[in-house]
Amino acid sequence: MNLNMTLSAGSSTPIENVANAREKLERSPPLWVQVYLQTDVSKSVQWIKRAEAAGCTALVLTVDTPILGNRLSERRSLLAEKELSTKPIASAATVNRILMDARTKQEAKDIADSAGGALINSALTWETTIPFLRSVSSMKILVKGIMSPEDARLAVDYGVDGIVVSNHGGRQLDCVPATLELLPQIAEVVAGKIPVILDGGVRRGSDVFKAIALGADFVLVGRPVLWGLAYDGENGVSAVLNILERELSQTMALAGVCSISEIGRSYLGVTREDGFGIKRL
SS3 116: coil
Strand partners, 162: 142
Half-sphere exposure of 71 (CA within 13 A, CB side): 19
184-197: b or e for each residue (b if 16 or more CB lie within 10 Å)? bbbbebbeeebebb
Question: Is-contact 152 140, C-beta < 8 A?
Answer: no
Residue 16 and residue 234: Cα distance in Å, rounded? 19
Residue 199 and residue 208: Cα distance in Å, rounded? 10
Q: Using CA of residue 176, residue 144, residue 213, residue 255, what is the dihedral sign?
A: negative
H helix runs in the chain, sequence order = 15-23, 41-53, 72-76, 81-84, 91-99, 105-114, 126-136, 149-157, 179-190, 205-213, 223-255
The residues annotated as belonging to the active site are: 168
Pairing mode, strands 140-146 and 58-62: parallel
SS3 160: coil
Residue 55 and residue 2: Cα distance in Å, rounded? 16
